[in-house]
Amino acid sequence: MNPADTSPPTDAALLTALHEVLSLLAQDDAPEPVFAQAAEKALLLTGAASAFVALLDPSREQLSFETALGDSTDGMVGTKVLAADSLLGTTARTGEARLYYRPEKIVTGSGDPLSAAVVALFAGGVPMGAFAVLNKAGSRPFDGADLLILSTLAKAASVALVGAKRRDDGKRQSRELGILYNAVRGIAGHLSVQEVLSAVMTQTAAHLPGAAGAVFLYGDDRHGLFVAAENGLSAEERETVLPVGEGVAKAILSAQRPVFLQFDGGDAPESSRLFASPFPDLGIRSGIGCALRSGDTTHGLLLVLSRSPAGAYTLADANLMSALASQTANALDNALLFEDATRRAEEATTLYELSQTVSSSLDSATIPERVADAVVSLLAVDKFALFLEKEPGDSLSLIASRGLSPGVAEKWQPALGDGLPGWVMEFETPTAVADISADHRNAAAAYPVQNESVASLACMPLQAAQRTIGVLCALSSRRRFFTIAEMELLYTVANQAAIALENARIYADVREKGRELRKYFHRVARALGSAQSPRAVPHLIATLTLEIMGGDRCALYEVKEMNGERMLELVARHGFRLSYEPEGAGAATNLRATEPPVPVTFAATDEHPSGWVARRGRSLVVEELGEDTRFDRALTRPARGKAGSLVAVPLRSAGDTVGVLEMYTRKERRFRSEDLRLLLTFASQATVAFSAARLADERESAAHELQALRETLAALQSLSE
């Protein structure tokens, strides 16, 4: 049919045109050929000079011409115009068919169309574009028949549009499903947090290309987000921390869906949807981000950045990122649970092995190394220090370390209250410091711990037998926050270490004391056996007592029965002067130890320490003599100034107390159970020597008396003769 022919089309022509369009549509081809066929038939059937098919973009603000046939249509295909400025725009957005006729355009000769018929193209009941014919032949207007023809052809074009959209949606969904399948398999198949993060970055780089990508996770304090995994970032950029309450982090974490981002490279008000770039040197201009949220738990966010302007990422990309973020959050939950269970099992194993090692070992050199291994493993730190006090109240000595500089043991010997280890030692209080440089206790230390490149530390006192013997320190060169669970682990390790070290020290002391005791006993046996005078034995016992026990003054008393009353007689003394004056002692108590012992006898009452021991036959230990009021009458105030502690043990023979051995120290002293056992062991040997000496003295006295008696009898016999 000739377009110039003004006669209406016949039914046969209409059917033929519709048949051709539908035949092309039945081939399930791309929509463009169907659009072109429909436009061609519209020209034939309506007598129009030109025909157009235009589609709205996703924003519904612009029209894109997909087909243009007829007069003055060169270069129109692919052209985009604002929908509001186009004759087709109103119909494309509202779906209402329209007829236009402007006869005044004939007179003016304007290039605007004289007549037009426009119908909408629908997809899923929503207007998606417009089908229009312009300038009917003979300058006549289009009528209802033309509109019907155009609507019929538009329906065929709409079917092609819907089919194409469904094919595109199917391809997109298939692609997304394939990507999601790979992502789920690649992400959810891991039970390690680091493996999950690596898989996320691999999938993100493969399907959401950009200049850089990163997973940010919450720090321990949840005030900032740190880079946990990345691609495209430099070493310096990997140290970036995003504040949670502002900028990009706030926008992403507060949204339930992925957020499209636009960066201006500088500070910009948040209301403008422009953000300051977290990585200024990358030159990024746009991005897309999504929170990693699983149930009520938010782990952090996933961020992908591009150097392209806004529009680099589409709605499909947002859907894909949403799925990736959801799978990542779930995988992180599982990985964290698995790692937590694994960590607890490893902690239990490590603590068990440490307990077995330290409880079975009495080697003071091995225990610190085992403790260091346990702390480094359990708390994931790269430095370690273990201090023990040199003497009670003295400075600390570094006996084991990891990751510290050579020779640090000579430089780092904190006194009580000096630095963080000294503070923990003095106040017996655990402490953890996330930022060493900001801690005043460390700043005032003689050897600040940052000299060893330490950023954070946790210190725990080592306590054994109700006293603090040292400090255990877990040190990190990376700034970190020590959790309550980690401090509890450190507390457990410190307790085991303190008990093991104290046991090893006691064992070493006992071994040393055992060696010394054997030497002393041999010496005592030789000394007592070689004593020429029985009267010298008590003085020898007093002298050896001070040497064995490290005391300052010693006295030996013999228990005697006089007139039915138990009495104590001073038979030997050594050290500073006797400062008490038992009743009847007189000036004899002020004699020096170098002078021969002078007999001093007094009643064995509870007012005197030796009397207390003699009456009960039990040992007596007074560690703070100045605080004990039981012996106020026996010990004068000057004595309390010279004597801080005392220990007294009975000398027992055949179940009876035959003497008392009494020793004083000038300074207050804490007597251990092994000290008392040592003195009792020596006392048992001294009892034998003392009893033998007393018997020898009695025999010697009896011999003298017998000799005197013989001499008297001989004199009497000579007189009688």
175-228 confidence digits (pLDDT tens): 667 766 766 666 666 667 778 888 888 888 888 888 899 999 987 678 889 998
Quick one: CA torsion of 162, 165, 169, 170, rounded to 10 degrees? 70
Would you state the pLDDT for residue 213? 92
- In this structure, the answer to whether residues 537 and 663 fall within a common structural domain is yes
- In this structure, the answer to whether residues 556 and 626 fall within a common structural domain is yes
Nearest to 559 by CA among 443, 687, 436, 685: 687
Residue 613 has pLDDT above 90, yes or no: yes
Cα distance between the two ends of the chain: 195
Q: What's the DSSP call for residue 227?
A: E
Quick one: CA torsion of 249, 231, 337, 377, rounded to 10 degrees? -110
- In this structure, the answer to whether residues 410 and 450 fall within a common structural domain is yes
Residue 303 has pLDDT above 50, yes or no: yes
Q: Tell me: the pLDDT tens digits for 225-242?
A: 999 889 999 888 988 899
**Residue 588 belongs to a domain:** yes
Would you state the pLDDT for residue 130? 93
- In this structure, the answer to whether residues 647 and 558 fall within a common structural domain is yes
How many folded domains does the chain comprise? 4
Q: Tell me: the pLDDT tens digits for 349-370?
A: 666 666 666 665 566 677 888 8
Contacts of 145 (CB under 8 A, 6+ apart): 8
- CATH classification at residue 299: 3.30.450.40
CA distances from 266 to 70, 242, 250, 284, 721 (A): 51, 15, 17, 11, 142
Distance CA 189, CA 284 (A): 32
Residue 497 has pLDDT above 70, yes or no: yes
Decide: helix, strand or coil at residue 170.
helix
Would you state the pLDDT for residue 25? 65
**Residue 617 belongs to a domain:** yes
- In this structure, the answer to whether residues 308 and 423 fall within a common structural domain is no
Residue with tokens 């819907």: 162
**Residue 555 belongs to a domain:** yes
Would you state the pLDDT for residue 578? 44
**Residue 178 belongs to a domain:** no
Provide the token pair at 327: 């799978």
- In this structure, the answer to whether residues 267 and 385 fall within a common structural domain is no
Residue 270 has pLDDT above 50, yes or no: no
Cβ(70)–Cβ(150) under 8 Å?
A: no
Q: Tell me: the pLDDT tens digits for 368-387?
A: 888 888 888 888 889 999 99
Would you state the pLDDT for residue 26? 65
Distance CA 469, CA 359 (A): 18
Higher pLDDT, 557 or 516: 557
- In this structure, the answer to whether residues 538 and 489 fall within a common structural domain is no
- In this structure, the answer to whether residues 498 and 537 fall within a common structural domain is no
Decide: helix, strand or coil at residue 331.
helix
Distance CA 664, CA 574 (A): 10
Q: Tell me: the pLDDT tens digits for 312-362?
A: 888 888 888 888 888 888 888 887 777 666 666 666 666 666 666 666 556
Residue 592: pLDDT band (50, 70, 90) is: very low
**Residue 709 belongs to a domain:** no
Decide: helix, strand or coil at residue 66.
strand
**Residue 347 belongs to a domain:** no
Distance CA 221, CA 224 (A): 7
**Residue 98 belongs to a domain:** yes
Whole-model pTM over 0.75:
no
Tell me which of 117, 135, 169 is where a domain ends. Answer: 169
- In this structure, the answer to whether residues 335 and 369 fall within a common structural domain is no
- What are the DSSP E strand ranges found in 137-273? 212-218, 224-231, 241-243, 259-263
Q: Tell me: the pLDDT tens digits for 432-478?
A: 988 888 888 888 888 888 888 898 999 999 888 778 889 999 999 88
Instruction: State which residues form the domain around 49.
Output: 11-169
- In this structure, the answer to whether residues 18 and 151 fall within a common structural domain is yes
Would you state the pLDDT for residue 269? 40
Q: What's the DSSP call for residue 589?
A: G
Distance CA 386, CA 494 (A): 10
- In this structure, the answer to whether residues 458 and 384 fall within a common structural domain is yes
- In this structure, the answer to whether residues 579 and 687 fall within a common structural domain is yes
**Residue 718 belongs to a domain:** no
Nearest to 159 by CA among 52, 54, 66, 25: 25
Sequence letter at residue 31: P
